[in-house]
Structure 1
């Protein structure tokens, strides 16, 4: 094989696993950590320090320190502090002599000159035979080698790290020899933030070359290489003579640095449609607060069943005043997603859920009006409800949003990889629809028995007295929603699927579907309703109840998963 005739030979993948990346993604990730990120930026001329990590091979699965080979060391090798998990993984993150300047290209920088002996030459040859790759890190981005796929047009495969070298025949020789990659052409992809005017690193790529550098005279600090001339601004792209690895061979390590503007934005990995998630999370907190306070009043005996309508009145008033917490939590979450228009999120929180419920209620009430039933809400009462909504609830939501948005944004516990990676193919049981439907069974099972008594008290005109037992069931519901969501969220992250935001909400929220199905079962087996209007009223009100149950349980599951991911990633250290 003639190494001088094809550049592809030097970049050829050596039976190693590859990772296909999309050309542009806004939601980056790495295997599990996909949840949080802390922004940073660099000005022109800022110093960028490259760190080196372990040497890895898919053939041996034995990692080695970068400086176990006689690569160019810095003046002082400094180990980055590693946690227990990194030590168990064999990570050894250390500093390196590779130092860049933001937006300042460098050509043919000479790193050092090394003369091999029998021992070091053997070490290089062994690592080349075992197809070891060199891993580096810049601003927490792993170094990747882009390789075009021959079977797909405009498709690129990215490999983590570059190979120490390669083995092959050269210049007609029948004997295979070892060649080292001693020249690296780095490409740092950057995206300029129009707001801060800072450049953010969104890609760190390299193309490795094997080049036997040539120079005149004795070697010194001012020696100019014939094979690489920075003054002529000629980047090395080919070499007729690759650098062989043998005893007493001289190796000169060099590198180039180029900066490229990229359309890939700095990762913020918010969920899809984050505004809606914030609105539902805030509304769920409003529901949660209303139910907790109502339960406490009922358990303490302040809401006696003999006081007809007292429970409903208390729930309506508590719902209105809990709008303060709805706006606060919605705005806090919205600001964490880098949202800037707090009034917009406050408006959606104040109107989305109440408007939907009010529309269904108004239609049902109009049907009752048409039947001349005393169950129809009078116009004066309807006006009072609208006043409570617009006059008290909406202003309180805006006040809560204003206070919540003025608070400092929730800090992310870890800085993660910004390179997007495709979600690997998932097992059948991790299919989103399947896992969401399975996740709703356990919360529904927690309230299944109590639900029968509640429906009986509502639709068969009976009194409900056992508020103490209901409060215990409500606590069990909270625990089960949190548990099932955390478990499924953990499985999802272990499967390298980072789209956990909405799924955590829908997992426990899907219990509302089972509630509505049970309501339909109860209608056909326990009730003797025959008139279509009565059936319409039953399913209309149960639809409102199921929708409310969805918001409540979904919020419990979401915040449980949110707390869980922050807890586990707060113990993750990434340099």
Structure 2
């Protein structure tokens, strides 16, 4: 269920050739706020020097695609120098002066479990995590340490093809191991005297500015008096020395095309649960299909018996009732125009999936991921392609909305087109903009820059809206309304009182429960990758594509589902409308087929 195309070109390096190291951002599994690496007050600032092997000055940002910007990436050139095949026991990077406020900020990030993302040859740095027994408890005061020495390990092998014959090498692994080293026992260069035997780590602590403090009387004591807010601006500072080591190791076991396998952790164990999710979905879809088939079979058998009898002896009321059904089957609903307006936008969203417009979008993106075309090495590719499909699917959105609108008796197709192009995208943009204000206030890189917001508005109003108009014009004036398979009666048939379980509130919950049951297991993995395990990668799009297909099959027999909370709320609205569109279109087609097959008297 997983196929991966690692990239279009292989970058090879020769001995003594410089390798650029890029820094991106810091992020945490415990919060959704990300921060650009060089925005942190306690890291070494860029020197602005152009290093060998890079066309950028240190601290200068590389060009990012739309998807990278939307996911909070801020990739810049660093001052760390890497040379192919050249080990470096220790290099001094800088000595950063920090005050109490900077230390407070560093402690907050340490407490929230933030980690740094570095990139070499398009590979993010892999590292090991040190954990403690969850049953272990300590009542002591928390102490914070910073990892100020970095050991960089680059794994390489001979490059394939002609580059390898010329001495070229490719990088198949990038690992970073951190260590906290105290400021004592250092050489004149600033490097630790002995990296293998570190006596004391570097603690983020400045003694309070208090005369007679026990920390001053007993400097070697492990007791630290609590820091006070009044001391934050007292001018006290400390120096944090940063150093790094570099080691190159040849590794013939890892092929270049498989170098990303390290980041797809626990997939073999997790695949069992994914198969369980598929079996669960198949069972639910199969049961639902069986129930629908039984109901249809009974209905059809009853109709056959009814129509095979001599109708001359029928009761007048029964005869009128039988004749009125086909005439009411194709009647437009009272809120037909609103149905069209709700449908129209989702032909857009679904053009990511492969069933009708709106669902084609999702299925296309997940399908491309399953084929390996969109993969983690193409940063932001999933988002960029998804937005592109959403924008250009406007022509399908306009086309289908116009035809449904005209079928239900709509006259003002221009108004319908305007609502089609602005209703759902406007709601989506408004929600994102409001959430973005809160992220802006936290100075997080997750916040969308003003220029990006303008670009999104341009894509929406200057590209998608004209496409929606073109599709709507063609659908309304050229293709026209779908013709009713039967003649619609002038007088609507009276609808009997419905049982409580098929009335609106109950039916909506019931109709949404079954599709949700199809996907909820796979949904756990998706949300875990989005919100809880950002250092890993969700990359079982083969399973996701199959689950999505089963979801579409199930929704063809029932309709809509939803979720909760902020960004998840945006996703919920999108997929609620998308799956509702699938349910409507399939139900609409089914009703037309059924009544089209009835013999009119």
TM range (shorter): 0.3 to 0.5
When normalised by structure 2's length, the TM-score is: 0.45
When normalised by structure 1's length, the TM-score is: 0.46
